[in-house]
Amino acid sequence: MTGERIKATGWGVLFTLTLAILIVAGSRNLSHFDAALVGYTFAVLFATFAITYRYAMWLQRPPTALYWKRGWQVFFRPSYLVTNIANWFKRVIGEFALNNFIFKRNKQRGIAHSLIMWGCVLACAITFPLVFGWIHFETPPDDTTWYRTFLFGFPTLAFRIHSITGFLVFHGLVWASFLVIAGVMLALRRRMRDHGAAALQQFGEDFLPLILLFAVSVTGLMLTASYTWMKGYAYDFLAILHAMSVIFTLLWLPFGKFFHIFQRPAQLGVGFYKDVGEREAPALCRRCGTPFTSRQHAEDLIRVEKALGYRYEIEGSAEHYQWICPRCRRAMLVLGQGKLWQDVLGGESIHIDFPPALPQSSLGNPRIDFGPLGDEDKRNFHP
């Protein structure tokens, strides 16, 4: 076993043990733990180990490790801390709660993702504390028409069983499944109709997660239908079917598309890294002299490329190919090919007395093409 795997296993064991201790403590020594839900608990514990293991392995890749370190460094830099905290709230609401960037990619994709995401968030917020025994309900001995909610064994909200609040609370998973099913239908519709998606999608990566979410939601709804309108018909079978679909989904969390749930918060760190980069020294292209990114980013990429075994060092004043802007790279590629032809064709040359400046390339069609960093170029670089 390599050092990386040992480290990742260690983190996995640590997180799993911590969760197990929290389950025991939060359910008051398992006194509020529902033994019927033990299968779910073990599936969550396994998923915790596997997700932590994969996350720890992922964090050890040179580019991820560097960004992880830099993200925290720039966030806690004293001169930017207040702005960073304000931006953190702004981004968590805009990017995570509202999915703004996904809506900009495609409206239908945004709606589908929001429905699935909020359905899953609601379902997890209800089921996980219930499964771990962190939440339980009790009927006060003097009034059986009321329910009191206990969080980690402490009494909290009380509500009448036959009330609108009671109806909404007890059917929380039904509302969640409605959201998820609608989102899954929209996502599947796009996957079945979009030619671009059809060319790239894979069963395990793109379809299986949707099928699993659909299976969990439908089997959950069938349980409600069974005890509400069918006098508990086939309830045991449905309970096993639902448990199987949930457990399989939990076990699949670390392997497929679901893992993006845990990766996506890295976007916040990237945001802070870019914010600081914009305010500090830029990297100037060592061919055309134009600023094209932050100096820190260029230097970090040189470090990452060296760690990955790339040798982009150049002899002369440019020192490293990373100091050349993307536009000059494209120009040099074409000039390199031109040089080969010129060497072969030879001929008699007439030199025109232009100023000896290096060619400054420009976009062929700025209406449909843009600088490499899109809007960021307009804001910061390539003015």
Partner 1 sequence: MSVHSNMEFFVDPMRCIGCQACMQACTECDTHKGHSMIHLDYLDRAHSVQTAPVVCMHCESPTCAEVCPADAIKRTEDGVVQTARKPRCIACNNCVLACPFGVPKMQTEFKLMMKCDMCYDRTSAGKRPMCATVCPSQALFFGTREQIEELRPRSTPINQFRFGGQIITTKVSMMAPKAARAEYVDVTAAMNEQATGRTITLNILDGMCE
Distance CA 117, CA 143 (A): 38
Q: List Cβ neighbours of 19 (8 Å cut-off, separation of 6 or more).
A: 44, 45, 48
Span of 142-150, 151-159, 165-173, 311-319 interacting with partner 1 by CB under 8 A: 311-319
Residues 290-309 that bind partner 1 (CB under 8 A): 292-293, 297-298, 301, 304-305, 308
- Evaluate the CA torsion angle 60, 63, 66, 69 in order and state its sign: negative
Of positions 12, 47, 325, 382, contacts partner 1 by CB under 8 A: 325
Of positions 33, 219, 324, 382, contacts partner 1 by CB under 8 A: 324
Identity at 68, one-letter amino acid code: W
383 lines the binding site for partner 1 (CB under 8 A): no
Of the two residues 118 and 312, which places its CB atom closer to partner 1 in the complex? Answer: 312
Residues 135-154 that bind partner 1 (CB under 8 A): none
Of the two residues 148 and 306, which places its CB atom closer to partner 1 in the complex? Answer: 306
Of the two residues 21 and 270, which places its CB atom closer to partner 1 in the complex? Answer: 270
Number of residues in contact with partner 1, rule: CB under 8 A?
91
Instruction: Put the strands of the sheet holding 154-160 in their side by side order.
Output: 135-138, 146-151, 154-160
Distance CA 90, CA 92 (A): 6
Of positions 1, 6, 35, 344, contacts partner 1 by CB under 8 A: 344
Residue 290 C-beta: closest distance to partner 1, Å: 13
x/- site string to partner 1, residues 362 to 381, per CB under 8 A? xxxx--xxx-xxxxx-----
Residue 78 C-beta: closest distance to partner 1, Å: 24
Do 241 and 38 touch, CB atoms closer than 8 A? no
Distances (CA, A) of 179 to 94, 274, 282, 338: 20, 35, 46, 58
4 lines the binding site for partner 1 (CB under 8 A): no
Residue 361 C-beta: closest distance to partner 1, Å: 4
360 lines the binding site for partner 1 (CB under 8 A): yes
Of the two residues 141 and 347, which places its CB atom closer to partner 1 in the complex? Answer: 347
Do 382 and 291 touch, CB atoms closer than 8 A? yes
Distance CA 48, CA 18 (A): 10
339 lines the binding site for partner 1 (CB under 8 A): yes
Of the two residues 34 and 206, which places its CB atom closer to partner 1 in the complex? Answer: 206
67 lines the binding site for partner 1 (CB under 8 A): yes
Distance CA 143, CA 12 (A): 46
Which tokens belong to 198?
Answer: 């059809």
Q: Rg of the chain over CA atoms, in angstroms?
A: 28
Residue 305 C-beta: closest distance to partner 1, Å: 7
Residues 261-280 that bind partner 1 (CB under 8 A): 263-264, 266-267, 270, 273-274
Of the two residues 39 and 326, which places its CB atom closer to partner 1 in the complex? Answer: 326
Residue 73 C-beta: closest distance to partner 1, Å: 15
163 lines the binding site for partner 1 (CB under 8 A): no
HSE (CB half, 13 Å, CA atoms) of 198? 6
x/- site string to partner 1, residues 84 to 103, per CB under 8 A? -----------x-----x--
Strands 282-284 and 291-294 come out as: antiparallel
Q: What is the DSSP string of 305-328?
A: HHHHT---B-SSTT-BGGGS-HHH
List the beta bridge partners of residue 284. Answer: 291
User: Which phi and psi (to 5°) does residue 53 adopt?
Assistant: -60, -50
Residues 164-223 that bind partner 1 (CB under 8 A): 194-196, 198-200
310 lines the binding site for partner 1 (CB under 8 A): yes
E strand or H helix at 82: helix 81-91
Of positions 37, 66, 169, 239, contacts partner 1 by CB under 8 A: 66
